[in-house]
Structure 1
Amino acid sequence: MTLSIDQQLALKTAASRLQSQFDGIFGTETIERFLNTSYDQFASNSTIPNFLPLLAERFARQRLHALAKVEGHVTDNKPIVLFLCVHNAGRSQMALGFFEDLAEDRAVAWSGGSEPGNEINPAAVEAMLERGINISREFPKPWTDEIVRAADVIVSMGCGDACPVFPGKRYLDWTLDDPAGKDVADVRPVRDEIERHVRELLQELGVEARV
């Protein structure tokens, strides 16, 4: 895919921000490789090309954080949970929203999909807003090797055999209805079940949930 001048400049700016953040941990070549491959992950399906550099930067930052954890550069001992579903548009995004809201900065959560969709489920966004949690800025994304390897707990919500299996990881399987195609009224019970699961998980991890 040919990049416009604006996209090239945006990616260059993104690379500079990432280099500043990961200075002393990763070199320029690694950072640019992660940024470019992250861009490629979204380029084929995106309907909003102008946002691609921003999405690529956010995903590259997450992947670099994961690699830093795997390589021992991160020693804060915060548990990392990875929520996985098929499209990363509903269940896993709601779980991520609840986890980040309740755990605040005491733990880390990521999400991904085996077949990432093009946008977050609008009914899931509306249902979460009813709880004061805005997931509209999130975006469907795949999981990558370093993200799975960095996670302490991997929660599957319907991705089945497609979910990655790595030795030494704790795996949980939450059986939840897929909110795809449902209206808000039908998504609310799924949302509430996810919240219950997330609260239980935080308790098991010894992470104090926000009141």
Structure 2
Amino acid sequence: MSEKKRVLFLCTGNSCRSQMAEGFAKTLGTDPSVEIMSAGLDAQGLNPMAIKVMQEDGVDISSQESTTVTEEMVASASLIITLCDHADANCPATPATAERRHWPIADPAQVSGSDAEVLAAFRDARDEIKDYVFGLVNDLRSGEEF
């Protein structure tokens, strides 16, 4: 039996993008032998707007927790996916046993403007993340190793 695979979604604050990726990965049917985690370089709490736009898409992330990445999380990961340039540049060293990918998603929490403009930015980030996660899930189902 092979060792359990662990996917770590990493962002700056673990409040929006990595939380959405974790929610989609758990909901879209990754193999039970794959553990899904998310963390931030500095946990900033779960963003209510991220919860809202995920609920619009039928995914409840309200019980997920914002956590700060630890060396143990990085060391145990089979695949580390950064979702912002800051996390990509400042991620702790990736162990030789892990693959690393970068999904450059704009931070919807940094958008200013009307409520409608901010909501649109969160929806755009959600939809882009969903596309990436669909690709990841399909890779896992087709037996792609990482």
- Same-fold call, TM cutoff 0.5: yes
Give the aligned CA root-mean-square deviation in angstroms.
1.9
d(CA) in 2 for partners of 1:196, 1:108: 20
- Provide the secondary structure at the position in 1 that maps to 2:66: coil
1:111-151 CA-partner distances (Å, limit 9, x unpaired):
1001210x211111100001111111112111112211111
Secondary structure of the equivalent of 1:171? strand
> Structure 2: which amino acid aligns with 1:179?
P
TM-score scaled to structure 2, two decimals? 0.82
Q: Which has the higher contact order (CA 8 A, sep 6+)?
A: 2
Establish whether residue 185 from structure 1 lines up as the match of residue 120 from structure 2.
Answer: yes
Name the count of aligned residue pairs: 133
> Helix, strand or coil for the counterpart of 1:164?
coil
Q: Which runs of 5+ in 1 are unaligned?
A: 1-74
Aligned to 1:116: 43
CA distance in 1, matches of 2:9, 2:37: 6
> How far apart, in 1, do the equivalents of 2:36 and 2:59 lie?
15
Write the distance in 2 (CA, Å) between the matches of 1:174 and 1:190: 11
For the residues of structure 2 that align with 1:153 and 1:160, how far apart are their CA atoms?
13
For structure 2, the residue ranges without an aligned partner over 5 or more in a row are 112-117
Among 2, 9, 14, the residue aligned to 1:83: 9
The structure carrying a bigger helix percent of its residues is 1
After TM superposition, where is structure 1 displaced by more than 6 Å over at least 4 residues in a row? none
Instruction: Kindly name which structure, 1 or 2, has the bigger radius of gyration based on alpha carbons.
Output: 1
Instruction: Indicate which of 157, 160, 164 corresponds to 2:92.
Output: 164
Identity of aligned residues (%): 35
Q: Which has the higher strand share?
A: 2
